[in-house]
Chain A
Amino acid sequence: MAAAWAMIPIQPPAASSIAEGVDKLYYLLTGITLFFTVLIFSIIFYFMVKYRRRSEDEVAPETHTSMVLELSWTIIPSLICVVLFVWASALYVRNSRPPTASTEIFVIGKQWMWHIQHPEGPREIDELHVPVGVPIKVTATSQDVIHDFYIPAFRVKKDVLPGRYTSLWFQPTETGTFHLFCAQYCGTSHSQMIGWVYVMEPKDYADWLAGGEKTESMAQQGERLFTQFGCDSCHVSDGTGRGPSLAGVYGKPEQLAGGETRVVDESLIRQAILVPNSIHVPGRQPIMPTYQGQLNEEQILQLIAYVKSLGSQERNAK
Chain B
Amino acid sequence: MSEHSGDTGHVVPVSTYVLVFLALMAGTALTTGVAYIDLGRWNTVVALTIAVTKMMLVVLFFMHVKYATGLTRIVILAGFFWLGIMITLTCSDELTRVWEINSAGWGGIIPFLLHLF
Contact = CB atoms under 8 A, between A and B. Distances in A.
Bound together:
yes
Given A86-B117, A90-B116, A90-B117, A263 B103 contact: yes
B14 interface: no
Interface string B94-117: 000010011110000010011011
Contacts, number: 26
Most buried by B among A90, A93, A262: A93
A97 interface: yes
A89 B109 CA distance: 13
A55 interface: no
A278 interface: no
Nearest to B41: A258
A37 B103 CA distance: 43
Interface residues of A, number: 13
Interface of B: 98, 101-104, 110, 113-114, 116-117
A192 interface: no
A103 to B, nearest CB: 20
A12 to B, nearest CB: 26
Nearest to A91: B117
A261 interface: yes
Nearest to B113: A93
A262 B98 CA distance: 8
15 contacts: A86-B117, A89-B113, A90-B116, A90-B117, A93-B110, A93-B113, A97-B110, A97-B114, A261-B102, A261-B104, A262-B98, A263-B101, A263-B102, A265-B101, A267-B98
Interface string A37-63: 000000000000000000000000000
